[in-house]
Structure 1
Amino acid sequence: MSDSPLQRRLRSFRFAFRGIGQLFAREPNARIHALATLCVVGLGSFLGLPARDWAILIVTIALVLATEALNSALEALADRVAPDDHPLVARCKDLAAGAVLLAALGAVGVGLLVLGPPLLAALGLT
């Protein structure tokens, strides 16, 4: 007896949530991103950001976490298929790590642009 389309879809979500759990359980950098996310959400809540700004922050946070997940997946797979040092594996890992760094630096820029002006206003510095 085969699974229904709904059962297959629910199983897919279960796998996805398991992957997210593994990301935060096993990857120290993901936990650093999570801490940064909590700080941004706390500051955004304190500042009473409008919905548009929240949308920008949510997409930015998701981009950083998604690149971290892809980087972690690529590293795990590379370690499995090529446990010995190989220049192509090292290159792939470096490129994936670079993607995370680019996303994180972009997130810092977005954070400064979105949170900076209302924070300065709240502090009476504008």
Structure 2
Amino acid sequence: MTTSHSPFKSKGGLARLFKALRYSAQGLAAAFRHEAAFRQELLLAVVMTPMAFWLGRNPIETMMLLGTLVLLLIVELLNSAMEALADAITLEPHPLVGRAKDLGSAAVMLTILLGAAVWVCVALRL
């Protein structure tokens, strides 16, 4: 039985790890260069990271606060990736492309609301 593999998939090993790290760094650089929302959220994370260590009463609370910041960046990266892919497919208005972009935006909004709720709960000692 012959299985076909994508020519873009690597074979594995240490070289694959280094390529994956390079691709990840390129993705972060592209997000910083091209995505205003990512830059704003990254600035928010940089400013709020020291506050997480100050507000958190124990390592769990501190990690929860930091986790919400990282989660927001992750969701924004996924949203930006989806928007870039949608724009590569078509720049013409299309109901499914519009829905996909709205869904990505909703995911970012829910992540922001979750993060705000966690930060308020920790800050108010709830």
Q: Give the structure-1-normalised TM-score.
A: 0.82
Identify the residue that residue 112 of structure 1 maps to in structure 2. 120
What RMSD in Å do the two structures reach over aligned CA positions?
2.1
2:63 corresponds to: 55
How high is the sequence identity, in percent, across the aligned residues? 34
1:84 aligns to what SS in structure 2? coil
Unmatched runs of 5 consecutive residues or more in structure 2: 1-9
* Structure 1 consecutive aligned stretches of length 4 or more whose deviation exceeds 4 Å: none
Counterpart-to-counterpart distance in 1, 2:55 and 2:99? 42
Report deviation, 1:96.
0.6
Which structure features the higher share of helix residues? 1
Q: Which moved more, 1:3-12 or 1:88-97?
A: 3-12
Number of the residue aligned with 1:83: 91
Q: How many residues of Structure 1 are paired with residues of Structure 2 in the alignment?
A: 117
Letter in 1 for 2:13: P
Q: 2:49 aligns to what?
A: 41
Question: Is contact 1:74–1:93 with CA below 8 Å preserved after alignment?
Answer: yes
Q: Give CA deviations for 1:61-88 in whole Å, capped at 9, x if unaligned.
A: 1211111001100001101101211011
In structure 1, which of residues 73, 77, 82 is the aligned counterpart of residue 81 of structure 2?
73
Deviation at 1:47, TM superposition (A): 4.3
Secondary structure of the residue aligned to 1:22 is: helix
| Whole-angstrom CA distance in 2 between matches of 1:79 and 1:18 | 19
Equivalent position of 2:25 in the other structure: 17
| Structure 1 unpaired stretches of 5+ | 118-126
Q: How many Å apart are 1:55 and its aligned residue?
A: 1.3
3-state SS of paired residue (1:104): helix
- The Cα of 1:44 is off from its aligned counterpart by 2.6
Partner Cα separation in structure 1 for residue 52 and residue 88 of structure 2: 41
Compare relative contact order (CA 8 Å, sep 6+) and give the higher one, 1 or 2.
1
